[in-house]
Amino acid sequence: MKLTREARSIAVVINTGSRKGAAARKLVTQSLEEAQLPVSAVYTVDGGGDLGRTLELAVTDGHDLVLVGGGDGTVASAAGLVAGTDVVLGVLPLGTANDLARTLEIPQDLSGACAAFAEGKVVDIDLGRANGQPFLNVASAGLSVAVTEALSPRLKRLIGPLAYGVATLRSYAKHRPFHARLEFPEGDHEPVELEDLLQVAVGNGRYYGGGNAVSPTAGIDDHTLDIYAILAAPLREQAKIARSLKNGKFVENERVYHLTSRSVRLVTTPPLPVNLDGEIATSTPTDFTVERNAVHVVVPENSTSATFEGRS
């Protein structure tokens, strides 16, 4: 475990296209200055193709700590770039859901997050991959993709995390069930055929969708993926499942198929787009894997979300 204050050079990358990003630069730089952290460079980008190039520049420019402000999709992109290196990633919660910050027990307000980093520690977390693309929280196909498409920037700015509930209700009414086959390359489970599905999700972290838990035991450093499939059901039963999303106990419902593995292949009929941490980034068939202890991240000193083990 290292301390944040040992960082020699800190870069800050702010996605001004995120919900809180446009107004964040001044507050972030002031908060880091008050915390006596040595910021060497500040990059701002308004999403799009420039985001990847800016993140890559920040990571490869010799900084040993890169603080990334944006939504979970932005942070996952940065995690994919620093995976397997000694560069440490920090999460500035500027998105709508900020589920990774919630998993890592980072304060949801910017000044609180920056203050926590001042005395923070470095831990290792796992990185999920879907057809090679990185994700930190959850990858999914089915209803969640329609929800992502319904989450307009205006809706997120107006009502914040409540936008997820509104988008879900809109998407549920239009959903068409699908078929899925789950295959397990390591042979730890037999292949599974599932009909009449609402959603299939593969979780690497603990939280997703604005504070829903992947499962009661899910963690971002447990070196496994939580896989669950929700079967279509009458609205009354779906409401029952929805009520237990926050604590993850929905996986105990008889309409939910749940297991864990280090890798899984998802094949759907028809082929479907796949949502990675709020970004539609690939499609089925999809190969999911987990990279153990792939990313160094800074968390508050009292966070119990992960430990520093080193790679193996």
pLDDT digits (tens, 9 = 90+) for 228-271: 999 987 777 877 888 888 899 999 999 999 999 999 999 999 99
Among 149, 183, 237, 279, the one annotated catalytic: 279
Q: Residues of the chain with pLDDT > 90: what percent?
A: 54
List pLDDT tens digits, range 129-151. Answer: 999 999 999 999 988 777 766 66
Q: For residue 66, give the amino acid letter.
A: V
> Does 49 or 202 have the greater pLDDT score?
202
Question: How far is C-alpha 42 from the chain's CA centre?
Answer: 23
Q: What is the pLDDT of residue 143?
A: 80
pLDDT (mean) for 219-224: 96
Residue 153 in this model has a pLDDT that exceeds 70: no
Q: Which residues pair with 282 in a beta bridge?
A: 274
Q: Give the strand pairing for 225-231 and 192-203.
A: antiparallel
Q: What is the pLDDT of residue 157?
A: 61
Q: What is the pLDDT of residue 118?
A: 84
Lookup: tokens for 5: 């204050």
Asked whether 44 and 17 are in contact (CB, 8 A), the reply is: no
Mean of all residue pLDDT scores within the chain: 87
> Does 274 or 8 have the greater pLDDT score?
274
Residue 166 in this model has a pLDDT that exceeds 80: no
- Going by pLDDT thresholds of 50, 70 and 90, the confidence category of residue 1 is very low
Q: What is the pLDDT of residue 53?
A: 86
Asked whether 130 and 110 are in contact (CB, 8 A), the reply is: no
Is residue 279 annotated as a catalytic residue, yes or no?
Answer: yes
Lookup: tokens for 283: 């499609």
Taking the model in full, what pTM does it have? 0.89
Q: What is the pLDDT of residue 146?
A: 72
Q: For residue 303, give the amino acid letter.
A: S
Closest CA to 72 of 54, 53, 89: 89
pLDDT (mean) for 297-310: 91
Q: What angle do CA 164, 166, 170 make, to 5 degrees?
A: 115
Residue 156 in this model has a pLDDT that exceeds 80: no
Q: What is the pLDDT of residue 210?
A: 85
Backbone angles phi, psi at 192, to 5 degrees: -125, 130
Please give the Cα distance from 184 to 191 (Å, whole number): 6
Residue 52 in this model has a pLDDT that exceeds 70: yes
List pLDDT tens digits, range 71-123. Answer: 899 999 999 999 999 999 999 998 888 999 999 999 998 888 988 888 899 99
pLDDT (mean) for 287-297: 97
Q: What is the pLDDT of residue 215?
A: 94
- Going by pLDDT thresholds of 50, 70 and 90, the confidence category of residue 159 is low
Residue 3 in this model has a pLDDT that exceeds 60: no
Asked whether 114 and 32 are in contact (CB, 8 A), the reply is: yes
Asked whether 107 and 300 are in contact (CB, 8 A), the reply is: yes
